[in-house]
Amino acid sequence: MREKWQGEKRVYGLKGGARAYLLSLIAQRSRQPILIIAPTPPEAERLFFDLAFFLGEERDLSPLEKRLHFFPSWEILPFERLSPHPDNVAARLEGLYHLLEGQAPILISTPAALMQRTIPQEALKQSYRYLVAGSEIAREDLLSHLAAWGFQNVPLVEERGDFSVRGGIVDIFPPAHSRPMRLEFFSDRLESIREFDPSTQRSRDRHEALLLLPMKEFSLKRERIEIVEKGIEKRAEELEMGRKEKNSLLESVRSGVPFAGMEFLIPYFYSNLSPLFSYLPAETLVWLDQAAQVETEVERFERLTWERAAKAKGEGYFTPPVESLYLSEKEWRDESSSFRQIHSESLEVMPAKEKSRDSIFTIRSYLNTDIHQEISSLQVKEPSLAPLVGRLKEWEAERVFFVAPTHGDATRLRELVAHYKLELPLAEIPFPLLHAGEEPARCILVGGLTQGFRLPEERLILVTTDEIFGTRRSQRGSAKKSHPSHFITSLSELKQDDYVVHLDHGIGIYRGLKFLQVAGTEGEFLHLEYEGADRLYLPVDRINLVQRYIGGDGAQPTLDRLGGHSWERVKAKTRKSILAMAQELIGVYAAREVHEGHAFPAPDHLYREFEASFEFEETPDQERAIEETLSDMQKKKPMDRLVCGDVGYG
């Protein structure tokens, strides 16, 4: 494909991970911005992970080191009375920043995300800060900037968008960073920038600079709010809203405190919002993945915006004009047509005319679905991976890479094929470096590839472990929980007037949420009522200290008194019972130590094949429980083991 061309080209035949592979070649050979548009969020996410694998880009890179970015939609319905997740808003702003300041960024997005207008470029430039250790920075101005652009002042920083102030130390969890940062000030001089662990609050690596992106697409400064009020009043009159509803909305805006659905008022914060296409440099390449589906999704989303606006108006809710927040189908076409475009489809089509050969390309690629079909069609007594070994003998002239999601899966696959006297080395380097070399011709590597492919023209084959064993692995979050699962983690689990148990203060009644300002910190607090109308205000980020009261007979419990001794007596009695039970268990285990039981043999290759077909990715705790149980079964000592897990966690 020539370097300089205009207009539109079409590529047919790319299937599975071959799309991301070709995109990675384009990205590596041409340092130009690329916008990749997939029809739906799941498709966009798969492309994102596959492209990150082929580019060798790690997920925990700092925002200044990343080239690949996911640009999501708000993931809520248009004009819904809800706010988007802060991470979605932050990811959009990160993508816009890199289009302005980055070197040949790559954005992956969807029609729903791109049809929503964005913050104007000049406003975006005022919203972010670049902090350098050792420089002079007006500390109070920085704190005002954080509050205005969506950061929340909290006692303890744990989540993105939090910041806290303790003397000369400002802790902040900025978007686009995997860990929060600790800024140490001496007067108005920024002495140091350190990463810290939110679970232990201990400082870690030192950083020389910090990119501080906003958490919202609008500023809540007083002067800005006054402009917003005027626009809302005018629009309310056009909608013929009732006075009560209009005044309630205006009062919420005047308070300067974010409320659910406030983000849909963004057209009133700026004279004109910008389409993302206005951020794209002229040399940007636009790739439409499954182009026909993308066009269908554009049409569907435009209909959805007008339907949702009509529904909100019928229910008496305030909405800005649809065209002020979303692009129409015609605007989409007009905005995107000024860029070079490649339309990709998985169907193979041969150009009808000679002159079309410069604009239509067909690349033969194949999926690996037949591998598991062949394996599963064998009789039970035959070696289950024999077809794969046979395929490898047929693929002598190709470079073959097996991709596993974790080191455990990679090691397991190597052990399984070793049973067939086939050695596959485990590569420890990223795919781009591995592919650039000549050796090894076949190996196993760890990565996030979601779908493999066979590309005959390149003599290249990539096979994922899911394609071998017929699994669809779901990666679970690895966040550590500090309390058992019966403690509350979300406000949705709690209703007003529920009886609750606080870990330190005992039984009380939940009376709802209160917005308070305490010692310079503002935010939402749980209002808990105790005996004698005593009140406790618990920050929402400490909700995991509370669990709903569950009584055996359904009777109402007796409330504890704050500062009283009844709850301490209950805990002391419980501790005494637990110690007695522990003493009895020690006696049981001491007796078991002197008895012998049956020792099972170590797991064989058939067990390992069965284990590899498990459709989920085990968490570290699950892996440890499995290995310890297998280890115990191979000993003569009788095993007495209880495996406990949260519902929904395997």
- Give the tens place of pLDDT for each residue, 476-516: 433 333 333 444 545 556 678 888 999 889 999 998 877 77
Say if residue 395 is in the same domain as residue 376: yes
Say if residue 464 is in the same domain as residue 497: no
Residue 96 lies in a domain: yes
The confidence score (pLDDT) of residue 65 equals 84
Tens-digit pLDDT profile for residues 206-239: 899 999 999 989 887 766 777 888 899 899 888 8
**Total structural domains within the chain:** 5
Buried/exposed code over 221-235 (b: 16+ C-beta within 10 A; e: otherwise) = eeebbeebeebbeeb
Residue 507 lies in a domain: yes
pLDDT at 240 over 90: no
Looking at residue 468, its amino acid is I
Is the Cβ–Cβ distance between 567 and 505 less than 8 Å?
yes
The confidence score (pLDDT) of residue 321 equals 94
DSSP 601: P
Residue 559 dihedral angles phi and psi, to the nearest 5°: -75, 145
Residue 340 lies in a domain: yes
Highest mean pLDDT (candidates 176-180, 257-261, 327-331, 626-630):
327-331
Residue-range definition of the domain harbouring residue 498: 491-563
Distance (Å, whole) CA 208 – CA 138: 18
pLDDT at 261 over 90: no
Say if residue 107 is in the same domain as residue 138: no
Say if residue 116 is in the same domain as residue 12: yes
The confidence score (pLDDT) of residue 554 equals 67
Say if residue 91 is in the same domain as residue 38: yes
Q: 3-state SS string over 90-108?
A: HHHHHHHHHHHHCCCCEEE
Residue 295 lies in a domain: yes
Residues whose CB falls within 8 Å of the CB of residue 37, separated by 6 or more in sequence, listed in order: 109, 110, 111, 114, 286, 287, 288, 289, 294
Say if residue 75 is in the same domain as residue 35: yes
Residue 646 lies in a domain: no
Q: Last residue of a domain, which of 189, 212, 235?
A: 212
CATH of the domain at 514: 2.40.10.170
Q: Last residue of a domain, which of 402, 435, 469?
A: 469
Cα–Cα–Cα angle for 618, 623, 421, nearest 5°? 90
pLDDT at 379 over 60: no
Cα separations in angstroms, 306 against 82, 335, 505, 515: 18, 20, 51, 35
Say if residue 599 is in the same domain as residue 540: no
Say if residue 110 is in the same domain as residue 135: no
pLDDT at 288 over 90: yes
Residue 620 lies in a domain: yes
Residue 238 lies in a domain: no
Say if residue 458 is in the same domain as residue 553: no
pLDDT at 44 over 90: yes
Looking at the chain, how many residues does it have? 650
Say if residue 190 is in the same domain as residue 297: no
Q: Tell which wins on pLDDT, 409 or 50.
A: 50
Say if residue 502 is in the same domain as residue 450: no
pTM: 0.74
Is the Cβ–Cβ distance between 109 and 44 less than 8 Å?
yes
Distance (Å, whole) CA 367 – CA 462: 10
Is the Cβ–Cβ distance between 328 and 302 less than 8 Å?
yes
Share of the chain above pLDDT 70, in %: 90
CATH of the domain at 289: 3.40.50.11180
Residue 457 lies in a domain: yes
Say if residue 182 is in the same domain as residue 103: no
Tens-digit pLDDT profile for residues 416-469: 888 888 888 999 889 998 888 877 788 999 999 999 999 999 999 999 998 888
CB neighbourhood size of 91 (10 A): 19
CATH of the domain at 141: 3.30.2060.10
**What is the torsion angle, in degrees rounded to the nearest 10, for the CA atoms of residue 487, residue 517, residue 318 and residue 247?**
140
pLDDT mean over 264-285: 93
